[in-house]
Chain A
Amino acid sequence: MRELLSRIAETLYWIGRYVERSDDIARLLDVSLHRTLGDDEDWSTVLAILGHEGGDNPTTETMIQRLAYDSATPSSIAGCVRAARENARGVREIISSEVWECLNVTWNELPIRQIGAERLGPHGYLRYVRERAALFSGLTDATMSRDDGWLFIVLGRSLERVDMTARLLAVHAEVLPSEFAPPSESTGWKALLEACGADESFTRTHRGDAKRVLEFLLLDRLFPRSVMHALTTAEQCLAELSPNQGRAGMNDPARAAVGRVRMALEYADTAGLEEQLPELLITLQAACVIASEGLTERFFQHASTLRWELGVQALGGAVWKPAGV
């Protein structure tokens, strides 16, 4: 198979992450807005999930502005779409024309969608972003060869999904501790399921048994947005990217991290999930960080950007010393 430039591998990985992130934020916002029609939503929950600092008394309008429309923030929808599109612009000879145009058109149309959303409410905007993310996934799957480039996109998407779902669970567990006890008060869990796009699938699988929400989102092997499924996909991608592992051990730190946490989930005790949750989530987040670092170490080490300066004319010739990063 043809090798991929390290710079391009890294760019593709981030395109996968950014598109998934825009999708996840859109879902999260959509659900939060829907839940709180009329009510005052406690936006600090959503802010915490996305790693924003809490502002003073945020209103729904300012939050939407901040989390959806503000393209200057990398953790807003517009910011993610923009980052994905800018990255794609640098690799447009690698991705298919359809995929490039999908991201380019998505970005070009955002201002128009925003104008519409300001009149009719943000739902249309959020749905547009979700649909375009789905189109992106569909086009990458339908028009790109299953080579390393495709694997890096899917890898980015899967790791981002693990990360975002873990954040969602962490915040919900933190602010809604009472929900653990009485399953009847299920609004918090319902929102969580909807944010993960899992409510219908969950209802069909477990008939709305609120005790099994955690199990579904973390451990379900068939639901494509569960942590388990995303980890499995990520691990498969990594296995394909560096297949020769010798007879023992694992020389790929990213795959080791993903594999270990997947195994921990694979054999987790479903009965005690709630008690284990805080610990599990910490493990998950840590695994994502290690995996990201491992990927950078192994695949993305391109020649560091050097600035060459004319050094002292000592050793009978020019001495060059690298400066900068």
Chain B
Amino acid sequence: MADIFDSYALADAWDEMFERPGTPRPPYQGLFAALQPLGADELRFRADQLARVFTDRGVTFDYAGEERPFPLDLIPRVIDAAEWDLISRAVRQRVRTLEAFLADVYGGRQIFHDGVVPWGLLHSSPHFHRTADGIRPANGVRVHIAGIDIIRDETGAFRVLEDNVRTPSGVSYVLENRLAMMRTLPALFTEQRVRPVDEYPARLLAALRRAAPAAINDPTVVVLTPGVYNAAYFEHALLARLMGVELVEGRDLVCENNRVYMVTTHGKRPVHVIYRRVDDDYLDPLHFRPDSTLGCPGLLNAARAGTVAIANAVGNGVADDKLLYTYVPDLMKYYLGETPLISNVETYRLEDADTLEWVLANVGDLVLKPVDGAGGKGIVIGPRASGETLAGLTENVQKDPRKWIAQRPVALSTSPALIGDLPRPRHIDLRPFAVNDGDDVWLLPGGLTRVALPEGELVVNSSQGGGSKDTWVLSEPGPRIPHVAAGGHQPPAHWQPSRNAAWDGESEQ
């Protein structure tokens, strides 16, 4: 039987798994050894099994108005302990920087007075909300959950691609992927120690509880969802269930006298912390879009009055602005006196006339991104775009250069993904999830590795029809801690019998 990796041809990029054809990198050696004995048929069989199980469990996202299973690739992505240490320190640094910046933006705005960031950036940012000015969160946290997207370039160095401190999504797939992989390919996990991911809901709940107004001893936390038709509804429901809190829609909430209540069968009950998965624009028709029925009128006033905490805070979008991204190294120096542990991708601001001219002259060799495009929307990759697209782009950029940034095209690293029966190189990125409880920024070991399934595709996003991989962070090398059979063994922090029970039931069908 031929090896499944025999025909694996490296693409023109850094490959995560292979140094050169047939030779896996050190962190992947265990995985390589475990996968090799499996034939192509066996892999295909397991992949089909995996897909069916996801459909039955309703692990789906809405793509073009259709409920689809989120494609999970069978071959995991592996990060060794040293690299993970770098990533987690870099993400912490980044979150602390953006927290400081947001506190400044909605406070004294000192950094603008000091001329580090131009005032124009703030005033032209569509996500800077004056209505959030002066709102001080009880524990000072505005970025309760962050998703900092990281890629690896051609040289193997990590780069930060973008910051998501509004409502980063995807963590449910991390949890479901791990569960699915452990059920479908348990043999892979016996060779090495993979750090668990199931701590996340407990960490998230703890951070949300600590965000509650100071006077509340036992805060009521809710997850606010736009409803079943939202693309990430599955995630909202999963997080609510795993945290054991109510999943509410806007119509379940009412505000009275600057307090927020949910309407129950026994009358109104106070709500103290809202983990909202509704965008600012739809959150509160009193202050934002008046035609929104997804939010609840009065939420922002209640947050200002300090009776409720909104996570993530209103107005965080100004930090997601890709023009601000270019200033993050400056912010880091200004607030923390540090240099970035993981740098940005080389990026050009287009407000400067000379730069703009140069960029427009070389638009075919650059990547142009809209500053507020989420989910890979509107990105133009110069070397691949048609002349027509580039002409349209040039016109748009000239019309409003503030709305665009230009970047050097980076060939994202590749990783083998099962396409048909055989592994092929596909581009991937990484979204680690960070939870800030006010004292510490905790990182979920691993995060979501997204994979662009079409060959050569560089835009990696679930809303662009991408898939994902289980992401393994290996523990520090060293002797395995022997299992203590009885006595002195600590109970697991977060026991989830129902999820595993459901899986056991499923595999019998």
Contact = CB atoms under 8 A, between A and B. Distances in A.
Interface of A: 3-7, 9, 86, 89-90, 92-94, 96-98, 100-101, 104-105, 108, 148, 241, 299, 301-310, 318, 320
Contacts of B509: 105
Contacts of B27: none
A148 B275 CA distance: 25
Contact of A92 (B241, B251, B285, B290): B241
Contacts of B292: 308
Contacts of A86: 228
Interface stretch (B37-45, B151-159, B455-463, B498-506): B498-506
Instruction: Give the one of A3, A6, A97, A101 with max B CB within 10 A.
Output: A97
B169 interface: no
Nearest to A88: B58
Given A6-B265, A89-B228, A320 B251 contact: no
Interface of B: 55-58, 227-228, 233, 237-238, 240-241, 246-249, 251-254, 262-267, 269, 285-286, 290-293, 296-297, 498-499, 501-502, 505-506, 509
B235 to A, nearest CB: 11
Nearest to B498: A97
A20 to B, nearest CB: 21
Contact of B286 (A90, A105, A299, A308): A308
Contact of A93 (B238, B254, B264): B238
Contacts of B291: 307-309
Chief secondary structure at chain A's binding surface: mixed
Contacts of A303: 251-254, 263, 296
A224 B297 CA distance: 47
Given A7-B249, A97-B502, A306-B293, A90 B263 contact: no
Contacts of A96: 498, 502
Contact of B247 (A93, A301, A310, A320): A93
A-B pairs, 6 with minimum CB distance: A3-B264, A93-B241, A97-B502, A308-B285, A93-B240, A299-B265
Contacts of A302: 251-252, 263
B57 to A, nearest CB: 6
B500 to A, nearest CB: 10
Given A97-B502, A301-B263, A302-B251, A310 B290 contact: yes
Nearest to B247: A93
Contact of A308 (B251, B263, B290): B290
A105 B54 CA distance: 11
A104 B58 contact: yes
Contacts of B293: 305-307
B265 A308 contact: no
Contacts of B502: 96-98, 101
Contacts of B506: 101
Contact of A89 (B58, B252, B262): B58
A6 B264 contact: yes
A47 B291 CA distance: 42
Contacts of B254: 303
Contacts of A304: 251
Contact of B264 (A5, A94, A97, A98): A5
9 contacts: A3-B265, A5-B252, A89-B58, A94-B247, A101-B56, A104-B58, A148-B265, A309-B290, A309-B291
A1 to B, nearest CB: 9
A89 B252 CA distance: 17
Given A93-B247, A308-B297, A101 B264 contact: no
Contact of A98 (B238, B253, B297, B505): B505
Contacts of B249: 7
A241 B292 CA distance: 34
A96 B57 CA distance: 12
Contact of A108 (B55, B262, B501, B505): B55
Contacts of A307: 291, 293
A241 B265 CA distance: 9
A320 B286 contact: yes
A308 B251 CA distance: 13
A295 B265 CA distance: 10
Given A3-B266, A101-B57, 14 more contacts: A3-B267, A3-B269, A5-B248, A5-B262, A6-B252, A7-B263, A89-B233, A93-B247, A100-B58, A101-B505, A105-B509, A305-B293, A308-B292, A320-B286
A92 B263 contact: no
A303 to B, nearest CB: 5
Given A5-B246, A305-B293, A310-B290, A108 B56 contact: yes
A317 B501 CA distance: 56
B264 A4 contact: yes
A141 to B, nearest CB: 16
Contacts of A90: 227-228
B276 to A, nearest CB: 16
B56 A5 contact: no
Contacts of A318: 286
A105 B56 contact: yes
Nearest to B292: A308
Contacts of B56: 101, 104-105, 108
A302 B246 CA distance: 15
A111 B376 CA distance: 35
Given A93-B240, A105-B56, A320 B297 contact: yes
Contacts of A320: 286, 297
Contacts of A98: 501-502, 505
A136 B465 CA distance: 34
Nearest to B499: A97
A308 B296 CA distance: 10
A306 B266 CA distance: 22
B261 to A, nearest CB: 9
A97 B238 CA distance: 10
A139 B248 CA distance: 25
A90 B238 CA distance: 11
Nearest to B57: A101
A299 B293 CA distance: 22
